[in-house]
Structure 1
Amino acid sequence: MEVQRLQELLWLFSKLQSNRVALVGGNHTAARFCTR
């Protein structure tokens, strides 16, 4: 159960990250992450 949930979270995270990188520059994304 936990493993499946973790996998789902990881998949979502990677998807979001890739989308962010494609939309904005890598540096900008990093800055956003830090400020958050």
Structure 2
Amino acid sequence: GGVDKLKVDQCKIYLRKYGLRLTGKKDVLVGRIKEHL
């Protein structure tokens, strides 16, 4: 979906909002968001 188009800072905003970890490269962050969805 559109998750792959997110910028790193957008990923971090999302992760912070849900109390998820912000560590890792962009593909790690995107994967974490996908698991959360």
Common fold, TM-score beyond 0.5?
Answer: no
Q: Which has the larger radius of gyration?
A: 1
The two structures have a TM-score, normalised by structure 1, of 0.37
Per chain length, whose mean CA-contact separation is higher, i.e. which structure has more relative contact order (CA < 8 Å, sep 6+)? 2
Structure holding more helix per residue: 1
